[in-house]
Chain A
Amino acid sequence: MKQRVPGFSRIRTSFLFTAILLSLGLTAGNTFALTNDDCLGCHGDIIDVTIFSATVHGGNGCVSCHREAAAATDEHPLPMPPVNCGTCHQKIAEVHAKSEHGKAIKGGDKQAPRCYDCHSKHEIFRPTDPRSTTYPLNIPGTCGRCHQDGSPMTTSHKLKKKHITDNYTMSVHGKGLYKDGLIVTATCSSCHTNHDVQKASSPNSSVNRNNIIATCTQCHVGIGNQFLKSVHSPLITKTDKKLPVCIDCHSDHTISMVDNKDFRLTIAQQCGNCHGRYSETYLETYHGRASMLKGGEKLAKCSDCHGAHDIMPSTSPESRINKAKIVETCSACHPKANASFTTYLTHATHSKEDKARYPYLFYTFWAMTGLLVGTFAFFGMHTLLWIPRSYMERVKAAKAKREEQD
């Protein structure tokens, strides 16, 4: 967007220049030339001249867009073909034509958005102008006209993602935009681009897995720098396995503040998508267990011990769980933590899988289980055998009582 604005004005300047030359030529060739006033004679009821003259195209004559009417002396021929913005905005038109929207137009999709569907027709303002349909505060509404659930487009097209605009509104970006009026927050076009909207599955898409980090770090530069040095960075870890990208942990349209309760409660699951065993064993220990109960968001989550964007291999002295740093890490919640305390095994279980590593846990568990089974086996039998005798005692006592009363 930033890059496009100077280009846009350059095009506009050249366009104006051409328009002047053209109108000079027309004036020279014809005795008659259509002025805006001529057009407004008929179309005055649909065009508000005061608004139009303030728009980016306010200095243009009607016929500079509605070219086919230019040659008319009285009434222009009908039907008029649609305006071709690409005549002036050539590069944008080329990009748009290759986008998912452009391809849909080519494919005959009547609902596919043309320039004016997003930019309006006669009320086109700069994106920095609050009146513009592409002003940050207005973008979700503009895209939402088609992408909000219940719109004609969402009913006629099969879309994988649901409730996009609602989710966006509730997300950290949406809240920034609507609650605080933070116009530098991410809107639809920040991630999806404006004219080059592609399906996420397309390798060229700004929201394709392989491009997500680049897309998010347009704004989140600091986090990007941290992440690219971390164990999850494709620059550091060379592997065939899928490395996580921003959206794997943060989601896309529902992205929330990281200290949000619901987000904190999903961390173990998110990390568990790849680190399944660690997620499971976490849930077996105190932190994980208590996490499942009300108020559990306060308990330590993966990122509280391992970090988030700056996770290093545990062997690295920079790792939060490396011996050099672990006391400090635990101290965040346990101010009196000491070196011995940090040998608590946050992921160890008494299971068979962990037997080789933690035999003392395995054997403690089975010794305790033996005690339980032994005790219950003996007293269980004792009780079962007792029941018929006890019942007979009751009958006997009742009989004795009856006899006494008789």
Chain B
Amino acid sequence: MSKTPTLYVERFTPCQRIIHLMIIVSFLTLAVTGMTLKFAMEGWAQQVADLAGGFAILGALHRFFAAITFLYFILTLGMLFRFWKNSGKTMGGFIFDPEGLVPNLNDVKEMVATLKWFFGGPRPQYGRWTYWEKFDFMAVFWGVAVIGSTGLALWFPEQASVLFPGYWLNIATIIHSDEALLASGFIFTIHFYNTHLRPEKFPLDPVIFVGSITVDEMKHERPREYAQLVASGELENLTSKRGPTAWHLRVATVFGLFVVSTGSLLIIAIITSMIRYLMRH
């Protein structure tokens, strides 16, 4: 037992955690309902439709959570806008902040260093956001823009065809469907692994639900961020003795594991369906 009390530092604000919860619930529902349509010839898809009470209900759920997606997209933009205002930086300075969320040259260096680490080099000095975390964040933006715009066109096809030729809906369908395949495939394998399933974190990293990590964890996992906070003297103000309660952790773990297993099940269904599809053709 260490004599000093455990110190915690907040990594995600309550607002960010709520947005991430919105993403989880909407993304998972969108993925399940959408993939059910994409793989409608499969037994599992038909069972999902039976369970939901029919494709019309799946469609209604898909559209409802599409609206939630647009909502969290706007909330995220609003959050970034507030950060920018509070940072006192210029727009360019904020966007290209070396420790911000936009990938920069340092991420390329860090990626190379990581690959070296995989082959025995030293572990890179990760900062507040690693390059794979930045990729996740940017991918959501790219994904929401691409899937959202094509999805809107398919939601309102008559109106959309006033703006562009009707056969573009065919193109929109391919983009919507394949980008969704990319997004679900990425989230349910790569993101799940990077964040939760890799041996260091297995089976779940609850930080996105509980908000804080211990200072020790930060020191170990994000040494550059720790060093920066120590150097600027901000660490003192950010740490707290209050960590997440046991109940908070329990609920977070149960919910998190439920989501990770549902996503994993879906990705298994998708992969087997795709193999079956390829074998048929």
Q: B38–A358 contact, CB under 8 A?
A: no
Contact with A along B140-178 (1 / 0, CB 8 A): 000000000000001001110110111101110111001
Chain A residues with Cβ below 8 Å from B252 are none
Q: B166–A344 contact, CB under 8 A?
A: yes
Q: A368–B37 contact, CB under 8 A?
A: no
Q: B182–A372 contact, CB under 8 A?
A: yes
Contact with A along B22-64 (1 / 0, CB 8 A): 0000000000000011101100011001101111101100000
Give Cα A376 to B186, complex, Å.
Answer: 7
Given contacts A361-B171, A372-B178, A372-B182, contact A344 B38 (CB under 8 A): no
Q: B166–A385 contact, CB under 8 A?
A: no
Which stretch in B8-16, B192-200, B234-242 binds the other chain?
A: B192-200
Contact among A340, A360, A391 with B162 in the assembled complex (CB-CB below 8 Å): A340
B190 interface residue per 8 A CB criterion: yes
For chain B, the bracket of interface size reads 35 or more
Give Cα A214 to B166, complex, Å.
Answer: 43
Contact among B36, B118, B123 with A293 in the assembled complex (CB-CB below 8 Å): B36
Q: A344–B170 contact, CB under 8 A?
A: yes
Chain B residues with Cβ below 8 Å from A387 are 198-199
Contact among B178, B185, B202 with A376 in the assembled complex (CB-CB below 8 Å): B185
Contact among A289, A334, A338, A364 with B174 in the assembled complex (CB-CB below 8 Å): A364
A324 interface residue per 8 A CB criterion: no
Give Cα A4 to B182, complex, Å.
Answer: 72
Q: A393–B199 contact, CB under 8 A?
A: yes
Contact with A along B1-13 (1 / 0, CB 8 A): 1100000000000
Which stretch in A180-188, A265-273, A294-302 binds the other chain?
A: A294-302
Smallest CB separation, A265 vs chain B (Å): 12
Q: B158–A295 contact, CB under 8 A?
A: no
Give Cα A232 to B275, complex, Å.
Answer: 39
Smallest CB separation, A87 vs chain B (Å): 64
Contact among A345, A368, A376, A394 with B199 in the assembled complex (CB-CB below 8 Å): A394
Chain A 252-306 interface residues, beta-carbon cutoff 8 Å to B: 283, 285-286, 289-296, 298-299
A337 interface residue per 8 A CB criterion: yes
Give Cα A126 to B189, complex, Å.
Answer: 77
Chain B residues with Cβ below 8 Å from A223 are none
Chain A residues with Cβ below 8 Å from B193 are 383, 386
Q: A338–B161 contact, CB under 8 A?
A: yes
Contact among B56, B117, B158 with A389 in the assembled complex (CB-CB below 8 Å): B117
Q: A344–B185 contact, CB under 8 A?
A: no
Q: A294–B167 contact, CB under 8 A?
A: no
Q: B170–A361 contact, CB under 8 A?
A: yes
Chain B residues with Cβ below 8 Å from A338 are 158, 161-162
Given contacts A344-B157, A397-B200, contact A369 B46 (CB under 8 A): no
Query: Which chain A residue shows the least CB distance to B51?
Result: A294
Q: B173–A295 contact, CB under 8 A?
A: no
Q: B2–A294 contact, CB under 8 A?
A: no
Q: B118–A386 contact, CB under 8 A?
A: yes
Residues of B within 8 A of A (CB): 1-2, 36-38, 40-41, 45-46, 49-50, 52-56, 58-59, 115, 117-119, 123, 132, 154, 157-159, 161-162, 164-167, 169-171, 173-175, 178-179, 181-182, 185-186, 189-190, 193-194, 198-200, 202, 220
Residues of A within 8 A of B (CB): 283, 285-286, 289-296, 298-299, 334, 336-338, 340-345, 348, 350, 358, 360-361, 364-365, 368-369, 371-372, 375-376, 379-380, 382-383, 385-391, 393-394, 397, 404-405
Could you jot down 27 A-B contacts, CB within 8 Å? A283-B41, A289-B41, A292-B40, A293-B40, A293-B55, A294-B50, A294-B54, A295-B56, A299-B55, A336-B158, A340-B165, A341-B158, A343-B165, A343-B166, A344-B169, A345-B170, A361-B170, A361-B171, A365-B174, A368-B178, A371-B182, A372-B181, A382-B190, A383-B189, A386-B118, A386-B194, A397-B220
Contacts A338-B158, A340-B166, A388-B118 known; 4 new A-B pairs at CB < 8 A: A350-B174, A372-B185, A383-B189, A394-B200
